[in-house]
Amino acid sequence: MSTPDPRYVIGVDVGTGSARAGLFDLQGRMVATAKHDIQTFHAAGAIVEQSSTDIWAAVCRSVQDTLASAGVPAAQVAGIGFDATCSLVVLGEGGQPLPVGTSEDPARDIIVWMDHRAVAQAERINATGHPVLRYVGGRISPEMETPKLLWLHEHRPAVFNAAWQFFDLTDYLTWRASGDLARSTCTITCKWTYLAHEQRWDESYFRTIGLGMLADEGFKRIGRRAVPPGTPLGQGLTAEAAAALGLLPGTPVAAGLIDAHAGGLGTVGAAGDPVDSLGYVFGTSSCTMTTTREPVFVSGVWGPYFSAMVPGAWLNEGGQSVAGAAIERLLALHPAAPEAARTAAAQGQPLPAWLAQQVAQRCPQPSDSARLAAGLHVLPEFLGNRAPHADPHARACIAGLGMDSDLDSLLALYVAGLCGIGYGLRQIIDVQAAAGAPVQQVVISGGAGRLDLVRQLLADATGKPVLATQAEEPVLLGAAILGALAARCFADAPAAMAAMSHTGQRYEPAGGRIAAAHAGRYQAFQRLQAVTREIREAEKGLA
């Protein structure tokens, strides 16, 4: 009996809170999905850690459960692709986990992307003014990996010296799957300062910032070989990884992507030319992905990065350090939130979805919902401004808050918060356009961006059409596209994107008085940013 031709690909996405797997056909239809939660450890000083062992176990269970749910035999899986958060994994000899913090627990071997322990290191790196910083928008973020490596070198020297490999989480997963130490140009270009357009690390950068030992070693601990996303790795799945995942040894494994970039890959091709669309991944944080044919330098916006998402094209990456998490924190501040959350839970809904229903009852036309927030303005920068100000010290601000504690005031706060997220997005779009990277539309993905209310408010706040894809899980789809490329199901990334990603609903921005109101609120948003910076400057003596 002959083995059926492979007809499916698997995408694996490791986010901040869970590992998910999705099985897709080659038309981009998701057949089955499963997820398992992962552990996160918080400590004082903005420290956030995870376990690579725990994450790999969750990945394996998710893939097994997905295959079981679909009833698809492993022989029909053509390839597998991975994406993950840009978190730092530290392994000793033989791949043993090393403790990255004061817990001394080797299971806690990951510094999570949102960990801000390396703010001081990032500031010192930025003070050097090294030319490499041009490719991260002029200022490196403490969320990136070289500040974190410098922190480890300074605060955990024994661990730093004992490390065999420093991985971005995506590259750790592809190594576990294939045994191949190659790094994705996406991860090391976007988060480690690799110059993909020149196919090299800049030795002088590492020597300038105090990590010259990595250059002395020939960069063997952070990646000597870089390959574009979708490149097949090793000989495919190793026997050990295949057994753990429930797949066949030799199944092609693709070089991966950062999770937001996978969302971009799974969306921007759906709307035609990727250059026309800004990919907006709206999850716990938000990321903006703008594709250009030539490099565009934008102050405060990461990049330009070569071959970091679409092979052969340049990418500018912006975003907000918290987005979905900002809305959650904002709602938690309101006295009516606990009762509203209980009501939502009794109806089997998350609180934001239930609140969106309440808004719709009061404003049948979604664009009219902004009137609920009249006089109330939210600058939702709870964890700093990632772009375009590259200011990790920025903080949130609420203006116009009264003594009301009823449901209507909770709805007003919710809508004002969503508008604030939209104005932050508008600011990134405007700055990029002024630098020479305009976009015609926004293509949205991410769990926090699924509601019609959210999409319409983003369209109105930015003045750009917002497109949603047909894919329910565009980040998983982006990872699956990588698997299809590794299996050579398509000639190249644009062909795979065109075949597997398709547009869905389109949300047009309102005009007239509503557009004028948002323009005025956007000005207020920018003034709040300026005022909070002035206040911080005035209070420097208290720090």
pLDDT score, position 28: 96
Cβ neighbour number for residue 491 with a 10 Å cutoff: 9
pLDDT score at 269: 80
**Domain 277-470+511-543 homologous superfamily, CATH:** ATPase, nucleotide binding domain (3.30.420.40)
Which runs of consecutive H residues, i.e. helices, occur in 349-492? 351-362, 407-435, 452-462, 474-486
Beta-bridge partners for 314: 292, 306
Query: Can you tell me the mean pLDDT for 51-58?
Result: 98
In the predicted model, is pLDDT for residue 192 greater than 70?
A: yes
- pLDDT confidence of 543, banded at 50, 70, 90? low
Whether pLDDT at 1 is above 70 = no
Phi, psi of 61 (to 5 degrees): -65, -40
At residue 406 the predicted structure's pLDDT band, cuts being 50, 70 and 90, is very high
pLDDT in tens, 136-173: 988 999 999 999 999 999 999 999 999 999 999 999 99
d(CA 523, CA 518): 9
What does the pLDDT look like over 244-292, one tens digit per residue?
999 999 999 999 999 989 989 998 887 778 899 999 989 888 989 999 9
The residue-averaged pLDDT of 466-474 equals: 90
- 4 falls in which pLDDT band (50, 70, 90)? low
Please give the sequence-ordered ranges of beta strands (E in DSSP) within 199-301, or none if there are none: 226-227, 257-258, 277-282, 286-292
Helices (H), 179-275: 185-191, 203-209, 212-216, 239-245, 259-265
Per CATH, 8-257 and 277-470+511-543 having the same topology is answered: yes
pLDDT, tens only, 209-222 = 999 999 999 999 99
Residue pLDDT, tens place only, 513-526: 999 999 999 999 99
- Mean pLDDT score of the chain: 95
How far apart CA 533 and CA 369 sit, in angstroms, is 30
Burial of residue 384 (number of CB atoms within 10 Å: 0-12, 13-18, 19+): buried
Least confident of 23-32, 61-70, 137-146, 414-423: 137-146
> What is the structure's pLDDT at 159?
98
Q: Provide the pLDDT for residue 478.
A: 96
Q: Are 419 and 373 in contact (CB under 8 A)?
A: yes
pLDDT band at 2; cut points 50, 70, 90: very low
Residue pLDDT, tens place only, 329-364? 999 999 999 999 999 999 999 999 999 999 999 999
pLDDT at 469: 87
Separation CA 395–CA 388 (nearest Å): 14
The pLDDT of 195-204, averaged and rounded, is 97
Annotated domain spans of the chain: 8-257, 277-470+511-543
pLDDT above 90 as % of the chain:
89
Q: Is the pLDDT of residue 3 over 60?
A: no
Let me know: does 266 contact 474? Beta carbons within 8 Å.
yes
Q: How does residue 44 score in pLDDT terms, banded at 50, 70 and 90? A: confident
CATH topology assigned to domain 8-257 = Nucleotidyltransferase; domain 5 (3.30.420)
Residue type, 108: R
